[in-house]
Structure 1
Amino acid sequence: MGEDNVVKAMFLLRLLLAVISLIAALLMFKYKTITDALRINAFVGLVAPLIFISISAIGIANMAGKVSFTKLIITIIGVLLVLYGTTK
């Protein structure tokens, strides 16, 4: 897969998350209850990490042949630390 296609895939996933977040915000405004807002936010909270992991995986897979193994491992550890740091 060419680098342009990889960046395009990463862009489209990030754009998808932005659209999901915007729709979630509009739904929260429409329903105007804390319970509904929490449910909507929970859905976004489930989807966002999956998209983050997907974008990271696409980028890391494309970098695999271009950077040293050590730098690749450091990048993977960085992604894992972000995920760990955002858990409760």
Structure 2
Amino acid sequence: MRRWFALLDTAVMSMAGLRLISGLIEVSAAILMLIFNDVRKAMAVNAVLAIVGPTVLILTMSIGLINLADEISFSKLLFIGLGVGLILFGIYK
């Protein structure tokens, strides 16, 4: 098992770890909604999740872009950044 982890890129492990943590937060929120059994409290939990999702997206994309910065051209990085910006704009507007 240690050999397998040694073969993985640290950036990929970081990105996957963030996604796993995000998934655990999502599952925990669903369990809390069921425990509370109240629409108002469920909406409050859901509001907190609205912050978690984009934050994880930004962090994982940042890790990936930082590690790809020396491999791809500046114009491609600009297009990727623009795409992420448009996604965030669509989420918040």
Alignment TM-score > 0.5, same fold: yes
Q: Which runs of 5+ in 2 are unaligned?
A: 1-7
Q: CA RMSD in A?
A: 1.0
Residues 7-86 of structure 1: pairs in structure 2 closer than 5 A? 7-86=12-91
The amino acid that maps onto 1:23 is S
Offset at 1:87?
1.6
Structure 1's consecutive aligned runs of 4 or more residues displaced over 2 angstroms after TM superposition are none
**TM-score with structure 1 length normalisation?**
0.93
Identity of aligned residues (%): 36
**TM-score with structure 2 length normalisation?**
0.88
The amino acid that maps onto 1:65 is D
Rg: which structure is higher? 2
User: How many pairs does the alignment contain?
Assistant: 86
Q: Distance in 1 between matches of 2:61 and 2:23?
A: 16
Offset at 1:54?
0.5
